[in-house]
Structure 1
């Protein structure tokens, strides 16, 4: 039952001694694994606690609104705690993995410091799938906080977060973020700010202190330190799976046998919009799958329906270039709209009668010359069929100054510390 306190004309208010009965902070904290079940619900807002692991760049949408993505980790869920793994098992797995990695016949006779194992797990770069699997196992004992939550902060909430972050210094950041709504992005749950959203940095709040103590204790046992948040181009649930690549690397890449695709982050300049590929496609307005007319009717195979509403979406194939080579990428609706700066329906409405719809409009050609960060998807079809046109999953326009510092996402932390994720 909802309750309220009403103040009337004759209401008297007297200051009382603070006896600590009323807590300074009162939040309804939700664990990350419960967010999935709250997607689409708008009645109750969500509060979360976490350590900030990475912060993205301010991104402007086509409606002018700016957003900031922030990744949080929370180890208070017992199934995510590294301390739940028996130490003897941890050492056994680490030694076994080292034997396999270096083809040793027996376990090393000398003791191997855990800090070395952490550094090895974090820094080794060996291209084979087997080696990557072993490296993953080396760090599994204390890099087990792999369940993240991405929080998207909009407009003022984003600006306030950035301003507060600048005052925290180079130390781990622990926050409570309140008043959030659960959304779904790329089939994964995420959180989005509302007008009620507030962010509290390192406050005296028990769940936040418990999280901080748990992470510090686990990192101390592992012989490593917790890192401050990293600044990344795009915040993703699994940032380690997104490789920083030059175009030559993209063209030469091999997909590990156990995967059907890999993702890469590539900084390049758009040099051309490919003629002959068009710039839009007709799709089912319900599922966004491409549809083609059959006997003057459109049939959607995905929906198994011939009574559909047809709409148009962007499909722009662009040639991009960096210092190592050139390739082509495909920008679909949201990413193309972000660079073009206008929804597709506006461009269609501006076309004069009789215009050839295959001809690239000037507004689309205007993206030539833009320096962008492209997060691309590379799959077996691209490689086996020699078809580039890698699908762009995220894009952000960059300045030339940013290009100079884009060689690595986390170049500033080349010490023996490692983030617990």
Structure 2
């Protein structure tokens, strides 16, 4: 008659912690909680490589178990997140060298002798365990793929869901820590949707979050974090480091009873957390750069009304109604492929093969009538030297055009009707 692993552990006093596991044997038995389960995806073809399961014991030690594709139907219906199990007869093998979600030398492989039984949850095993990285260390981890990054922070701002030219959706979230350091976390696809689904439950309260399984990237001069298959967001959970962060931030404000701010929506998230002023086209054309400033940034919400062919390049004409006049601006920038949703090289190649090169491709015509938010950079060349080309740095599609009020943060000339010729953005 087969023995019950849980009963055997209780009667014989066998080791049931991860630290006591013995290598080179399949006779280990452990009592663990499943904290995370996710599929590792091949980015080239979208197939599932295997499924990762993180196991945590009562000594706050965790390890990763790998479930191969031919084992999914056997083990995954049993291994539910946040439940406790007795697992016996498994292989303790060397862990992965790269993209590690758990800082452990070994990992667990299941095989035909492995037994998994659900155990009563007596709350002796913690519910969460993360490999937390301070924001100050992230810059030094750019390009390092050995260990995935877990961070905690207060959500300061979050942006618009964007669709990139390859069709992938992303969402930028700005986190701040107890040292008032900020980091931008970019959540891709389902990870961005998961974050947005969790937000309504907060009902205007501050949002403290743990984000797991990230990689450090570099965008311009700033370090940031980007999601992977292992990324998961945990909002306002009962986790001691989050409680400490909340108390530290409350102490910084000088009033522990005053509520911390809830997340703020911004069309474009900046590393500093500062809002980018939203201007009408007429205000952009009349903008003045403050003394000692190299450039100013603003956003403009506008509708695309037509597309022009400019010697092999396509210019997007946008128009918006403002309080003083109806004005039109031409957009000409490589970032336009973010608006179009298709790489410009592909469009231009198709255009060259077309007998009538003056015709705008249908894929471009599809964006006519849509509304976008454009982030613009205004430099002294635009104002002092009269250069009528503005740089578009970011683009995001929105549902509809809204009324725009000029921001007081940027100087403008008197609000007289515009008499300037059409400018190029």
Query: Which TM bucket (shorter chain)?
Result: 0.5 to 0.7
Kindly provide the CA deviation profile for residues 130-160 of structure 1, in whole angstroms up to 9, marking residues without a partner as x. xxxxxxxxxxxxxxx3x32111111111111
Cα distance in 2 between the residues matched to 1:353 and 1:373: 32
Q: Secondary structure at the match of 2:277?
A: strand
Distance in 1 separating the partners of 2:273 and 2:403: 18
Q: CA deviation at 1:45?
A: 0.5
- Provide the TM-score with structure 2 as the length reference: 0.63
Q: Select between 164-173 and 219-228 the one with higher mean Cα deviation.
A: 219-228
Task: Please say if residues 217 and 226 of structure 2, whose CA atoms lie closer than 8 Å, have aligned partners that are also in contact.
Answer: yes
Q: How does 1:180-199 map to 2 (within 5 A)?
A: 180-199=214-233
Which position in structure 1 is the counterpart of 2:148? 45
Higher strand share: 2
Separation in structure 1 between the aligned mates of residue 186 and residue 119 of structure 2, nearest angstrom: 39
Q: Is the 8 A contact 2:279 2:406 kept in 1?
A: no
Partner of 1:251: 285
Deviations 1:217-248 (Å, cap 9, x if unpaired)?
A: 22243995421111221112134252121222
Q: CA deviation at 1:356?
A: 8.2
The residue number in structure 1 matching 2:129 is 26
| Rounded Cα–Cα distance in structure 1 between residues aligned with 2:259 and 2:121 | 41
CA–CA distance in structure 2, aligned partners of residues 258 and 318 of structure 1? 32
Alpha-carbon contact 2:280-2:320 (below 8 Å) kept: no
Separation in structure 2 between the aligned mates of residue 19 and residue 361 of structure 1, nearest angstrom: 62
Match of residue 300, structure 2, among 242, 245, 266: 266
For residues 356 and 392 of structure 2, what CA distance do their matches in structure 1 show? 26
Q: Are residue 73 (structure 1) and residue 169 (structure 2) matched?
A: no
Deviations 1:359-386 (A, max 9, x none): 7655445544332111110111011122
Confirm or deny: 8 A CA contact 1:327 1:388 kept in the other structure.
no
Q: Please point out which of 33, 36, 39 is paired with 2:139.
A: 36
CA distance in 1, matches of 2:298, 2:133: 32
Match for residue 346 of structure 2? 346
Give 1:14 shift.
8.8
Change (3 A) 1:407 1:216: farther
CA distance in 2, matches of 1:316, 1:230: 33
SS at match of 1:382: helix
Indicate conservation of the 8 Å contact 1:219/1:225, yes or no.
Answer: no
- SS of corresponding position for 1:351: helix
**What is the match of residue 327 of structure 2?**
326
Distance 1:50 1:14 in 2: 34
Task: Find the residue that maps to 2:372 and give its secondary structure.
Answer: strand
TM-align CA RMSD: 3.1
Question: What secondary structure, in the 3-state scheme, does the structure 2 residue paired with 1:44 have?
Answer: coil
Residue 210 of structure 2 is matched in structure 1 by 176
Structure with bigger gyration radius: 2
Return closer, same or farther for 1:328/1:45 CA change in 2, 3 Å cut-off. same
- Tell me if the contact between 2:156 and 2:273 (Cα under 8 Å) persists in the aligned partners: no
Q: What are the ranges of 5 or more consecutive residues in structure 2 without an aligned counterpart? A: 1-93, 95-104, 408-425
For residues 37-72 of structure 1, give each alpha carbon's deviation from its aligned partner in whole angstroms, at most 9, with x where no partner exists: 111222211101000111212111232221111111
Moved more, 245-254 or 43-52: 245-254
Report the equivalent of 1:62. Answer: 165
User: TM-score under structure 1 normalisation?
Assistant: 0.63
Unpaired runs of 5+ in structure 1?
81-144, 281-314, 410-421
Distance 1:407 1:163, change over 3 A: farther
Q: How does 1:103-252 map to 2 (within 5 A)?
A: 145=180, 147-221=181-255, 225-240=259-274, 242-252=276-286
Aligned to 1:394: 394
Matched residues, number: 301
